[in-house]
Amino acid sequence: MIDNIIQPNILKIEEGLRLRKSNENEWNCALPWYKNSEVLYYSEGITDKTYDMETIKRMYSYLSNIGELYFIEALKSNEWIPIGDVTLSQRTMPIVLGDSNYWGRGIGKKVIKKLLERAKNIGLSTIKLKGIYKYNERSKNLFKSVGFYKVSEDNREEYYEIKLNF
């Protein structure tokens, strides 16, 4: 939760695409995403291992405590299926499209735009990103395309933020 604000169960993005509040008893659906070496390389900079359920539980518990954790869901054959995750927090906005069948379709941009709308509605004025690996051009381009700008960098990462206008 963000300052005692109630997280909605569903945020509709468009027909066939939504964000749904995740429940701990279904976090196991993310296991295949975090076993994908390409997902881990771009999101975590990891090249030598994959995540197990304990790691996912620690990560999702942390993200749930600092913000609103959602599964990104797509409608397929009249059934909503989780295809990734995203968190809205003032301190970070990690997004993972874990199902590679949905890469390159503009879904990430739609998700981030929806969360920026939500951020404005709940009164957030700034969102900072923890850091994007310098080699991760896809993420840098995604966040820049919706208005984030680089505020600093170190030898590994670039740091971005966005000021939300009311």
pLDDT in tens, 100-112: 999 999 999 999 9
- pLDDT of residue 146 exceeding 60, the answer is yes
Going 35 to 88 to 133 to 145, the CA torsion angle's sign is positive
- Cα–Cα distance measured from residue 126 to residue 124, given in angstroms and rounded to the nearest whole number: 6
**Mean pLDDT (whole number) for 27-46:** 86
Indicate the average pLDDT of the chain. Answer: 92
Q: Where are the beta strands (DSSP E) in the chain?
A: 10-14, 17-21, 68-76, 79-88, 95-97, 126-128, 132-133, 149-153, 157-163
- What does the pLDDT read at residue 166? 57
- pLDDT of residue 117 exceeding 50, the answer is yes
pLDDT in tens, 66-102: 999 999 999 999 999 999 999 999 999 999 999 999 9
pLDDT in tens, 46-64: 777 889 999 999 999 999 9
16: left (phi over 0), alpha (psi -120 to 50) or beta: left
pLDDT in tens, 127-142: 999 899 999 999 999 9
- Cα–Cα distance measured from residue 136 to residue 129, given in angstroms and rounded to the nearest whole number: 14
Contact 46, 34 (CB under 8 A): no
- What does the pLDDT read at residue 99? 92
Encoded tokens for 29: 């659906």
Would strands 95-97 and 79-88 be described as parallel, antiparallel, or unpaired? antiparallel
